[in-house]
Structure 1
Amino acid sequence: MTKPQTSRTMANVGRRLKALRLEARPRHTQAAVGMALGKSQDMISLFEKGGQLPTDGQLRKMLDLYGVDQATRIDLMAEIRGARESEAVWWAEYVADLPRSLVKLIEYEDSASQISIATGSLIPWPFQTLEYMRGVDEFAAHEVGVERLAVQHEVRARRQEIITRAERPASIDVLFSEAAIRPQVGGPEVMREQLARIVEIAQLPNVRLRVLPFSAGAAAATQLFLNIMDYPNPKDPGVAAIDTGTGVVFAEDPKEVRARRRMFDYLVRNALDPDDSVGLISAALKEL
């Protein structure tokens, strides 16, 4: 299985190749570039969509055709070589037991530098304890089976390591409704442990936590299961992942990603600040 950064790098390379073609004078069509390479227009389209990387020889011919300067050539070739590297990934052993959409989500998460998460009335996955997972997925245990669900919980726990891993820990911006901390999922003891865990993780320097209080009105009632993932390359528009309840839908078009950001920003404007959010959770913990 290839390195998770590869898919993002391929998409970035594709965007850069398309921009270079369109900026070239005279401008070249995909068909003309394909003819120059002895390939089809579909192959050039595949390169520009990030579906496949050109060989070094193909890349040189394209850059010659576009009249690209030496500095850009060196930078682009280095990016492509990085994308060709491969390494083992921790989730490879679980793939057979996971929905394909979840595997794709994990791949996107793993290479992200920042993840913005909104979960409505559910405790977000980076904070969930194992007992809370079991309580929340009570119905799913009957649908998918206890053994398969246990694997999914193990995977969810390993996903949480993205916050504390030694290399490339992601910054997490988390937002959820006060409705997530009030139900006694799994009973009072489970919720005491769960709320204490949220308070603990919220102290980490790369974690920002916000709660939408009931007083926020419609914003607090929004049922949204959203992840927005951003990457180190500033030109990468990011990816939005929306959990529909039956699977995960991905939005990669920049306009669609921006629309999800606007929704997240709307919720942020109606939420408590991080300190007050932790205070609300601490108060709820004392009430249990």
Structure 2
Amino acid sequence: MAKPQASRAMVAVGRRLKALRMAKRPRLTQEMVARALNKSQDLVSLMENGGQLPTDQQLVVMFDLYDVGEALRLDLLAEIRAARASQSVWWDEYLADLPRSLVRLIELEDPVSKVRISTGSLVPWPGQVPPYMEAVDEFHEREKGVEKTSVQHAVRLRRQNIFFRPDNPAELDALCSEAAIRAQVGGPEVMKAQLDHLVEFMQRPNITLRIIPFSAGAAAATQVNLNVMDYPSPNDPGVATMDTGTGVAILEDPKEIRARRRRFDYLAHSALTPDESLELIETLSKEL
């Protein structure tokens, strides 16, 4: 099943195709390209917006029209093949049970190179263990029903795999308040298991978790929940997301993304170092 919205890989391909058309002199319009393809202008627009990938035959026509050299042809062809492969994805099997905003978030997470997360008084989701998830969701999401909540737990565990994949695992820079590791969510036994997992989690070279101590004042008390995602392409401005309480707000305006980066950096400035954070977590685990 193809994904209902453009994947990040498809959007990247579309941007490159548009850049090639715009760079051609004299300038080519979408209508001119459509005539060369014997297709509609709407299809060319759809391709350039990442809604559809060109066929091999269409790609040859576009390459010739844009005077694309052999090296660039091979590079773009490899990117298009990767984008085609991305259309078959693990979360297809869960689509019927997930809100559209969460599906879109997963689509954006899958190809990331780095994620910055601030979660306030909850343990960041990439490091959560199932009993902790269950205790949090039992409190917050009773209206969703046991079956859907169970599906979302399974999906959350699958989402965590971007940080554990053998090839190019995503880098994680996470922040949370001291409250997140002191509150006995699910009781002492569950919380000890959660803290012990974080100790192991933080040993990975691509994982950074920092605690904002109570002594940091307002920075520790803030309940802001935000993600900023970076992608391999240096020209990709990234994506920011925020939990709205009823869903996920996805922000792709570069100004909005820069503002969230600044907010994250402000919070990070008040955090303990990774070593200090690890020491605090180990101490609290021993007390349980």
The alignment's TM-score, normalised by the length of structure 1, stands at: 0.88
Measure, in 1, the Cα distance between the counterparts of 2:283 and 2:93.
41
* Separation in structure 1 between the aligned mates of residue 55 and residue 252 of structure 2, nearest angstrom: 25
CA distance 1:16–1:125, shift in 2 (3 Å): same
Equivalent position amino acid for 2:66 in 1: Y
Q: 1:255 to 1:58 in 2, by over 3 A?
A: farther
The CA deviation string for residues 202-257 of structure 1, in whole angstroms up to 9 with x for no partner, is 11111111111122233222322222222333333322222212111222333333
Give the secondary structure class of the aligned counterpart of 2:217. Answer: helix
Structure-2 change in CA distance of 1:42 and 1:259 (3 Å)? farther
Contact 1:243 1:249 in 2 (8 A): yes
| Contact preservation (8 Å) 2:9, 2:86 | no
Once the 2 structures are TM-superposed, how far is the Cα of residue 170 of structure 1 from its aligned partner?
A: 2.2
| Residue deviations 1:159-202 (CA, integer Å, cap 9, x gap) | 22333333443222111111212222122222222222212211
Q: Kindly indicate whether the alpha-carbon contact (under 8 Å) linking 2:122 and 2:176 is maintained by their aligned counterparts in 1.
A: yes
Deviation at 1:275, TM superposition (A): 0.6
Instruction: Identify if the C-alpha distance between structure 1 residues 167 and 136 changes in structure 2 by more than 3 Å, giving closer, same or farther.
Output: same
Inter-partner Cα distance in structure 2 for 1:242 and 1:141? 18
Tell me the secondary structure at the aligned position of residue 173 of structure 1: strand
TM-score with structure 2 length normalisation?
0.88
Q: How does 1:86-125 map to 2 (within 5 A)?
A: 89-125=89-125
Structure 2 residues without counterparts, runs of 5 or longer: none
SS in 2 for 1:228: strand
Structure-1 residue corresponding to 2:144: 144
Instruction: After superposing the two structures, state which structure 1 stretch, 219-228 or 205-214, moved more.
Output: 219-228
SS across alignment from 2:182: coil
Question: In 2, distance between residues paired with 1:255 and 1:2?
Answer: 31
Deviates more, 1:153-162 or 1:241-250: 153-162
2:244 matched residue in structure 1: 244
Identity %: 64
**Cα distance in 1 for residues equivalent to 2:162 and 2:251:** 22
Aligned partner of 1:193 in structure 2 is 193
In structure 1, what is the equivalent of residue 284 of structure 2?
Answer: 284
Q: How many residues align?
A: 287
Higher mean alpha-carbon deviation, 85-94 vs 270-279, is at 85-94
**CA distance, structure 2, for counterparts of residue 9 and residue 161 of structure 1:** 18
What's the offset of the Cα at 1:68? Answer: 2.6
- Greater Cα offset, 11-20 or 157-166: 157-166
1:118-168, Cα deviation, whole Å (9 max, x unpaired): 111111111112221122112345211123212222222232233333344
Cα 1:263–1:205 change in 2 (3 A) is: same
User: Match for residue 129 of structure 1?
Assistant: 129
1: distance between equivalents of 2:134 and 2:86?
Answer: 35
**Structure 2 SS opposite 1:236:** coil
Partners of 2:86 and 2:206 in 1: CA distance: 28
Residue 51 of structure 2 is matched in structure 1 by: 51
- After superposition, the Cα gap between the structure-2 partners of 1:176 and 1:168, relative to the gap in structure 1 and judged at 3 Å, is same
User: In the alignment, is residue 24 of structure 1 matched against residue 24 of structure 2?
Assistant: yes
SS of residue paired to 2:126: helix
Deviation at 1:87, TM superposition (A): 7.5
Equivalents in 2 of 1:69, 1:87: separation in Å? Answer: 27
Secondary structure class of the residue paired with 1:181: helix
Q: Which amino acid aligns with 1:181?
A: I
Inter-partner Cα distance in structure 2 for 1:59 and 1:88: 21
Q: Return the alpha-carbon distance in structure 2 between the equivalents of residues 196 and 46 of structure 1.
A: 48
- TM-fit CA distance, 1:2: 4.9
Question: Which secondary structure does the structure 2 equivalent of 1:245 belong to?
Answer: coil
In 1: Cα distance, 2:144 partner to 2:168 partner: 33
- DSSP 3-state at the match of 1:229: strand
Greater Cα shift, 51-60 or 29-38: 29-38
Q: Which runs of 5+ in 1 are unaligned?
A: none
1:257 is aligned to: 257
Report what 2:68 is aligned to.
Answer: 68
In 2: Cα distance, 1:181 partner to 1:42 partner:
52
How far has the Cα of 1:11 moved from its partner? 1.0
Root-mean-square deviation over aligned CA pairs: 2.5
SS in 2 for 1:250: strand
